[in-house]
Amino acid sequence: MRLKAVCLLLCAGLLSAPAVAAPEDDDAWSGRYRLTWTEGPAFDVGEPDTVLVIARTPDADPAQYPGDLARWTAGPDEGINKEKAGELSRLSPDNYQEPGLAALYAAGGIECLDSGVSFICRVKPGTTVVFGGQKILARTGFFGGASQAGFFELTKLESTP
């Protein structure tokens, strides 16, 4: 059940991308994370914690995508199907217009990845962010949300993918 829930939320409707590591020295996203629901329907039904893997992939084709070409994949750790992993890209600066996020972004205090149906953001641990009218305390510095499922917190685990 948890494998289906995470895969549906992070991978549904996305183009697949090969999960071949691309060299990037400053990749703060790649790794293994414990995903814990904090609010929303998944939290309400007691969806158990799961392990999510985020991995850097080759850049997008500049002929197809304008702007930032960096890409990652995200999927559950258990039996991850690399061809079905969801693609993530950096949120464009225009998309930080949510009240409170624009100022935080302008100050360099937030960076988000987006899949179209979910997002993951990185802030200084302990930051409270107002997102969509909801106050989110990012205790670990990583939080996100998934359409129709609610908000979650990510805790980076020591081992890498």
The residue type of 63 is: A
Residue 135's Cβ-count burial label (10 Å; 0-12, 13-18, 19+) is exposed
49 φ, ψ (degrees, to nearest 5): -60, 150
Q: What is the pLDDT of residues 5-47, one digit of tens each?
A: 443 344 333 323 333 333 344 688 999 999 998 887 877 777 7
pTM here is: 0.76
Domain spans in the chain, listed from the N-terminal domain onward: 2-156
Q: Please report the DSSP string for 139-157 in residue order.
A: SSSEEEEETTTEEEEEEE-
